[in-house]
Amino acid sequence: MKTIGLDAEVVVSKFEESLNSNLSVKELVMELAYGKANDVASHYNEGIVIGADTIVVIDGKKIGKPQNHNEAFETLKLLSGRTHEVISGIVLINCKTKEIIKDCEITKVTFKELNDKEIQQYINLGEPFGKAGSYGIQGPALAFVEKIEGCYPNIMGLPVNNLLKNLKKMNVDFLEQDAWKAKNN
């Protein structure tokens, strides 16, 4: 958020995530993002709360954050040499007006063929844990990527252009933020 000039406070939600659902993946990520945003918004009377959630999908299988080393290894092995989707739900809640916008973004990521040693070394870095799909593209896993189709920031869990589009719908212009205003000295 700071990189694009938006002044934001990070507030951790107490909402409990679960991938066990009969919803489509798009609906699920938006519902998880809504759960997080709604939990935080319930503590504020004004401002806009942004919630996001990301799931990796391959062969119709939802892949969240790995629970252990073996799960991380199996996930990375599954993604090796193949294309998967990174689907992020994003929800904005205006705490004053109670307006809610739900949206999602899909990015396709193709990994190169990974050998067991590469996967093991990556896991030994501790990188897969806490990340949907067992990788974070903003770190060493960038070396695994052959091709990206769509929004790069979405792979990190925040589809920036989608966020800005929906902030504009709530009459928030990111170009009016202090970071974007010229300094007259």
Asked if residue 19 is part of any domain, the answer here is no
User: What is the pLDDT, as a whole number, of residue 22?
Assistant: 86
Asked if residue 184 is part of any domain, the answer here is no
Asked if residue 78 is part of any domain, the answer here is yes
Asked if residue 34 is part of any domain, the answer here is yes
Number of structural domains in the chain: 1
72: helix, strand or coil: helix
pLDDT tens column, 87-104: 999 999 999 999 999 999
DSSP letter string, 109-173: EEEPP--HHHHHHHHHTTTTTTSGGG--TTTGGGGGEEEEES-HHHHTT--HHHHHHHHHHTT--
User: What is the pLDDT, as a whole number, of residue 181?
Assistant: 47
Mean pLDDT of 168-175: 81
Asked if residue 120 is part of any domain, the answer here is yes
Mean pLDDT of 123-144: 95
* CB proximity list for 71: less than 8 A, separation 6 or greater: 134
- Just list the catalytic residues: 53
Where residue 47 sits, what CATH number does that domain have?
3.90.950.10
Asked if residue 77 is part of any domain, the answer here is yes
Asked if residue 183 is part of any domain, the answer here is no
User: What is the pLDDT, as a whole number, of residue 184?
Assistant: 43
Asked if residue 177 is part of any domain, the answer here is no
User: What is the pLDDT, as a whole number, of residue 178?
Assistant: 54
Provide the residue range defining the domain that includes 154.
Answer: 25-170
Other CB atoms within 10 A of residue 35 CB: 20
Residue 20 has pLDDT above 90, yes or no: no
